[in-house]
Structure 1
């Protein structure tokens, strides 16, 4: 009666149908528990999870002798490990840099950075394809090109090639460049701060708006000095 679960050398065809439905619903449940992150981006952690889960739960679909209890327990264990690593990476920026690739700049101010291309294992043809997919056919329009953590190429165009807004018509803008994260989840990102400003300047900006750096979820600054600040929900001061 429960051959579809315990396995049988002569498992009937309907048993495989039942297994397929159960395994599909089980994987669907695991993905829903893990959240959209596992579906929306394919980084090394998600890739490993997908391959291992597929291997564990794929074999019982073709081998009717295997019971489902072992694969289900193994898949649940892998799901818990994946969820735990994702949570730790969310709360610990240093650990996140170990398991997730940081964005890598491969074009800066319109110049192709050859060493960065080699480091990211990206060919010139792949770079050009990525630019075309971002509606860039003229390389002189590019200010920055970045290899994101999911392997895709994103592009920041020079300001003169961006759509004109009413604000642009009133004043001439300096090149905004590539924004760097200065504060992440209440912690100063010193390696970025030292490149474009100082800790004192960051604290001064926050003080004028009624914040301390511990109140901030994210703060970024581009090369034109334009600042974006997103406070934590728990922050008490708002401007």
Structure 2
């Protein structure tokens, strides 16, 4: 007697779906063990693509009882073997690794935002500021480097303790919190909505002159926090 849960049937009984679910779960468990342990936060685009494809292939037999189980499992096994082979070659061959894995890209260098790198990565300033805040740094003046890693996350390297003296280190009373920074100039253009909260256009021109700039369009990004401290990045 042909096994319906394996070959598929138009009216597959409930027990057939249960057996299929058990087989698929066991299969995925084995695949994860074969591929090795992965950290969710370090999954690269190739791992993500593999997960999507495998989920789509072996998910169909769980939703449709008419689809035979052998075909999707065979296809999933082939995809797993290819993925494992590419991962092994990338581990042994650094040149090939650069093909299947993106190199880290520097977004902030020596405290300055690299405009060309933002355009290359299709990353907006707002997204960069959000990711930096998620790393626990709202003050851009404290950042030495920000790097877009191969897994799509942004890592932040702060300036050394010698460069960033704190009131505590100088035995001074604690300073008030700097608060949330507001963007006054973005890509050489004034953000008037934010400027109206802190000053006028003439006041802004005086401040950028104090910072050593002649024109507003010479500045890529200028922010001010609630403590009145500026951060700027040249165009």
TM-score (norm 1): 0.65
Aligned to 1:68: 69
Structure 1 residues 48 and 161: alpha-carbon distance in aligned structure 2, compared to 1, 3 A threshold: farther
Structure-to-structure mapping, 1:7-86, within 5 angstroms: 7-37=8-38, 41-86=42-87
Q: Aligned equivalents of 1:12 and 1:3: distance in 2?
A: 9
Structure 1 alignment gaps of length 5 or more: 165-239
Partner SS state of residue 106, structure 2: strand
Deviations 1:152-188 (A, max 9, x none): 0100000028999xxxxxxxxxxxxxxxxxxxxxxxx
- Is the contact made by 1:134 and 1:154 (CA closer than 8 Å) also made in structure 2? yes
- Is the contact made by 1:106 and 1:116 (CA closer than 8 Å) also made in structure 2? yes
Q: Aligned equivalents of 1:160 and 1:39: distance in 2?
A: 32
Structure 2 alignment gaps of length 5 or more: 166-235
| Residues 1:160 and 2:161 aligned together | yes
- Is the contact made by 1:5 and 1:19 (CA closer than 8 Å) also made in structure 2? yes
Deviation at 1:44, TM superposition (A): 2.1
Partner SS state of residue 101, structure 1: coil
Partner SS state of residue 160, structure 1: coil
Aligned to 1:140: 141
TM-score (norm 2): 0.66
Structure 1 residues 25 and 162: alpha-carbon distance in aligned structure 2, compared to 1, 3 A threshold: farther
- Is the contact made by 1:38 and 1:46 (CA closer than 8 Å) also made in structure 2? no
Q: Based on CA coordinates, which of the two structures has the bigger radius of gyration?
A: 2
Partner SS state of residue 66, structure 2: coil
- Is the contact made by 1:141 and 1:161 (CA closer than 8 Å) also made in structure 2? no
Structure 1 residues 19 and 113: alpha-carbon distance in aligned structure 2, compared to 1, 3 A threshold: same
Deviation at 1:40, TM superposition (A): 5.6
Structure 1 residues 39 and 77: alpha-carbon distance in aligned structure 2, compared to 1, 3 A threshold: farther
Structure-to-structure mapping, 1:1-239, within 5 angstroms: 2-37=3-38, 41-160=42-161
Question: What is the aligned residue count?
Answer: 165
Structure 1 residues 73 and 38: alpha-carbon distance in aligned structure 2, compared to 1, 3 A threshold: farther
Q: Aligned equivalents of 2:84 and 2:158: distance in 1?
A: 36
- Is the contact made by 1:31 and 1:38 (CA closer than 8 Å) also made in structure 2? no
- Is the contact made by 2:146 and 2:156 (CA closer than 8 Å) also made in structure 1? yes
Partner SS state of residue 161, structure 2: helix
Partner SS state of residue 9, structure 2: coil
Deviations 1:188-235 (A, max 9, x none): xxxxxxxxxxxxxxxxxxxxxxxxxxxxxxxxxxxxxxxxxxxxxxxx
